[in-house]
Chains A and B, each alone.
Chain A
Amino acid sequence: MRIAPLLGLSAPCLAALLLAVPVVAQTAQRKPAPRNAVVYFHYPLDGLRVPERFTVRMGLKEMGVAPAGIDRPLTGHHHLLIDVDAPPSDQPIPSDYNHIHLGNGQTEVVVTLPKGPHTLQLLLGDSTHTPHNPPVISKKITVYVR
């Protein structure tokens, strides 16, 4: 189920296409992440039934959180992916209703979703919103909004 209306998703896609060349050029330097770094959900857990409005809480192991734009080793900021597959990990994570950026270093976010099943996934991005190398990404979980 796609929550983002047409505009939300297509614009960044277009932008990504247009920007493809310079973006690829800058991807050479992805920030390293420790192998044992893990991003995971405190809440909700896979398969849980949740109300329409709920708080997603995230945990991060072996790394620290820093707001977007802050370039410190072993840090990154959270991105919550809703009802989408993980974007390519060598480009900045798109910013739309399906890719929620927690750019101020937040570790939880309140989301409102329509009834039905939805998938959630966490992906850490570095100061430029690009996933680390290797990417620090959670399992994709499914929640049922009742």
Chain B
Amino acid sequence: MLGVRLSLVLGAIACLAASTLSGFAQERPRQRSPAPPDAKLSFVGLENNAKVPSKLTVRFAVSGMEVVPAGTVRRNSGHHHLLIDSDLPALNQPIPSDFNHLHFGSGQTETEISLPPGRHSLQLLFADQDHVPHDPPVMSEKIFVEVADAPEEKARSAAAPGARVFFRDLQDGATIPTRAIIRFGVEGIALVPAGTKSENGGHHHLLVDTELPALDREIPSDFNHIHFGRGQTETELSLPPGEHTLQLLFGDHEHVPHDPPIMSPRIKVRVVAGPVDGTRAVIAPPPVEKPAGRTPAPNDAAVYFVYPRNGETIYPNSTIRFGLRNMGVAPAGVVKPNTGHHHLLIDVPTPPLDAAIPADLNHIHLGGGQTERRITLPPGKHTLQLILGDDQHIPHDPPVVSERIEVIVATRIKKPGRRR
């Protein structure tokens, strides 16, 4: 859900950006590559006025021409662009690159998109090595799709047999103070932040004084259903004195319980005001094992930007390159001393350093061990920051964080930038 909302907001920004961008770009008509008159572009298995889920895979087909990566100069070939909710751009200009004009510059022929509920238009437009449409333009019909308002029943993620969640150091009938630290454990399934799709993973939800919610849809988010979307394994809970019930329920990347649901038994606790003799040790014993997992890092380890540098002007489509000193790179999930994986933070403050780094459009996880990433930004000022995360996406101790640099995104750069 968060992802959809975010993409909406970003989409709106991108729209604005695109309108300013086209203001710039409309000066010099570009040379257009010829296309055979019988070339055709179409959607595969997607009809006009189709009802679609909010997250859908769109496949493209082209006939009479060939798909090649952007930048490859070859006759009768090009790459796909998907226009979402937008009219045809100027045909003698490079197609803008934003959330409404998706480029498939590696020669992809399918993509997964997220659309908010409502009616949306989709259109395919083929373009040459410089992203300029051909002459005559090779494009598909503009089709409309309908995204249902109410989220339909979601497919539930399968749970691994034997997976379980449990309260640590907290038994049924325990007495706890009004402010208590509740710790939870998980076994047989990985702890991944909300929004990160994972074969066998999910995050905790703590149900306070409530029955189990419906198991075939998103767990509600309110004072009785506390989400731990960053993969936290403990929380400080304030409860009024009296009897209360607590229960843990694991949810997948979309907050939907697994099938079968992974949950703890519902336990009763008695909350008393004031200090509770002897129970503090029961509630919050000194953590014996890895305390919520901060992995040590060498003191001289550093992460930095190879490109761009602070204050530099970059193109809207730029490859950000990362450097790492005195440590190694390992994919997410790999436990190895003195390694971690990069996270690129765009236009956000430094997140809390003792919890898993959030995963969304502003916090890009490079979980495959990548050391560079191509991103698209609307023109203007942006901040970039790098944080190394351990196998669980949690920053190291001490954290390996770059300075937050500021870059200016512009479509024209006076002195030629270093682009490869």
**A96 close to chain B: CB less than 8 A:** no
**A65 close to chain B: CB less than 8 A:** yes
**B328 close to chain A: CB less than 8 A:** yes
**A145 close to chain B: CB less than 8 A:** no
Q: Interface with B: A12-20, A25-33, A66-74, A111-119, which one?
A: A66-74
Most A C-beta atoms less than 10 A away, residue of B322, B329, B370? B329
Bound together, the chains give a CA A108 to CA B370 distance in angstroms of: 14
Determine which of B328, B336, B420 lies in contact with A102 in the assembled complex, contact meaning CB atoms within 8 Å.
B328
Is the pair A59, B371 in contact by a Cβ cutoff of 8 Å?
yes
Is the pair B106, A64 in contact by a Cβ cutoff of 8 Å?
no
**A141 close to chain B: CB less than 8 A:** no
Taking the closest CB of chain B, its distance from the CB of A116, in whole angstroms, is 27
**A44 close to chain B: CB less than 8 A:** no
**B213 close to chain A: CB less than 8 A:** no
Is the pair A75, B371 in contact by a Cβ cutoff of 8 Å?
no
Bound together, the chains give a CA A117 to CA B218 distance in angstroms of: 64
The size bracket of the interface on A is 20 to 34
Taking the closest CB of chain B, its distance from the CB of A29, in whole angstroms, is 20
**Interface of chain A: mostly helix, strand, loop or mixed:** loop
**B402 close to chain A: CB less than 8 A:** no
Is the pair A64, B328 in contact by a Cβ cutoff of 8 Å?
no
Determine which of A36, A57, A63 lies in contact with B306 in the assembled complex, contact meaning CB atoms within 8 Å.
A57
Is the pair A36, B334 in contact by a Cβ cutoff of 8 Å?
no
**A128 close to chain B: CB less than 8 A:** no
Determine which of B323, B325, B327, B369 lies in contact with A66 in the assembled complex, contact meaning CB atoms within 8 Å.
B369
Determine which of B330, B366, B372 lies in contact with A105 in the assembled complex, contact meaning CB atoms within 8 Å.
B330
**B368 close to chain A: CB less than 8 A:** yes
**B233 close to chain A: CB less than 8 A:** no
Taking the closest CB of chain A, its distance from the CB of B222, in whole angstroms, is 39
Write out, one digit per residue, whether chain B residues 362-380 have a CB within 8 A of any chain A CB (1) or not (0): 0000101111100000000
Is the pair A64, B321 in contact by a Cβ cutoff of 8 Å?
no
A65-B371 contact given A105-B329, A106-B328, CB 8 Å threshold: yes
Is the pair B370, A107 in contact by a Cβ cutoff of 8 Å?
no
Is the pair A104, B328 in contact by a Cβ cutoff of 8 Å?
yes
Taking the closest CB of chain A, its distance from the CB of B45, in whole angstroms, is 26
A75-B339 contact given A42-B323, A64-B329, A108-B323, CB 8 Å threshold: no
Bound together, the chains give a CA A67 to CA B334 distance in angstroms of: 9
Bound together, the chains give a CA A63 to CA B330 distance in angstroms of: 12
Is the pair A64, B370 in contact by a Cβ cutoff of 8 Å?
yes
Is the pair B372, A61 in contact by a Cβ cutoff of 8 Å?
yes
**B219 close to chain A: CB less than 8 A:** no
Is the pair B339, A67 in contact by a Cβ cutoff of 8 Å?
yes
**Interface of chain B: mostly helix, strand, loop or mixed:** loop
Is the pair A75, B368 in contact by a Cβ cutoff of 8 Å?
yes
- Residues of chain A within 8 A (CB-CB) of B116 are none
Write out, one digit per residue, whether chain A residues 27-56 have a CB within 8 A of any chain B CB (1) or not (0): 000000000100010100000000000000
Determine which of A60, A70, A74, A104 lies in contact with B371 in the assembled complex, contact meaning CB atoms within 8 Å.
A60
Is the pair B369, A64 in contact by a Cβ cutoff of 8 Å?
yes
Is the pair B321, A75 in contact by a Cβ cutoff of 8 Å?
no
Taking the closest CB of chain B, its distance from the CB of A130, in whole angstroms, is 18
The residue on A at minimum CB distance from B325 is A108
The residue on B at minimum CB distance from A106 is B328
**B69 close to chain A: CB less than 8 A:** yes
Is the pair A65, B369 in contact by a Cβ cutoff of 8 Å?
yes
A67-B330 contact given A57-B306, A59-B321, A108-B324, CB 8 Å threshold: yes
A64-B368 contact given A106-B328, A107-B329, CB 8 Å threshold: yes
**B331 close to chain A: CB less than 8 A:** yes
Bound together, the chains give a CA A72 to CA B334 distance in angstroms of: 10
Is the pair B334, A70 in contact by a Cβ cutoff of 8 Å?
yes
Is the pair A59, B372 in contact by a Cβ cutoff of 8 Å?
yes
Bound together, the chains give a CA A40 to CA B369 distance in angstroms of: 16
- Residues of chain B within 8 A (CB-CB) of A102 are 328
**B338 close to chain A: CB less than 8 A:** yes
Q: A64-B369, A64-B370, A65-B328 are in contact. List 10 more A-B contacts (CB 8 A).
A: A64-B331, A66-B369, A67-B330, A67-B336, A70-B336, A72-B331, A72-B368, A75-B331, A106-B327, A107-B322
Q: Would you mind naming 29 contact pairs between A and B with Cβ atoms under 8 Å apart?
A: A36-B69, A57-B306, A57-B323, A59-B372, A60-B370, A60-B372, A64-B329, A64-B366, A64-B368, A64-B370, A64-B371, A65-B328, A65-B370, A66-B331, A67-B328, A67-B334, A70-B336, A72-B368, A72-B369, A75-B369, A102-B328, A104-B328, A104-B338, A105-B329, A105-B336, A106-B324, A106-B329, A107-B323, A108-B324
Measured CB to CB, the residues of B under 8 A from A are: 69, 106, 306, 321-325, 327-331, 334, 336, 338-339, 366, 368-372, 420
Closest 6 CB pairs of A and B: A64-B369, A105-B328, A104-B328, A64-B368, A65-B329, A105-B329
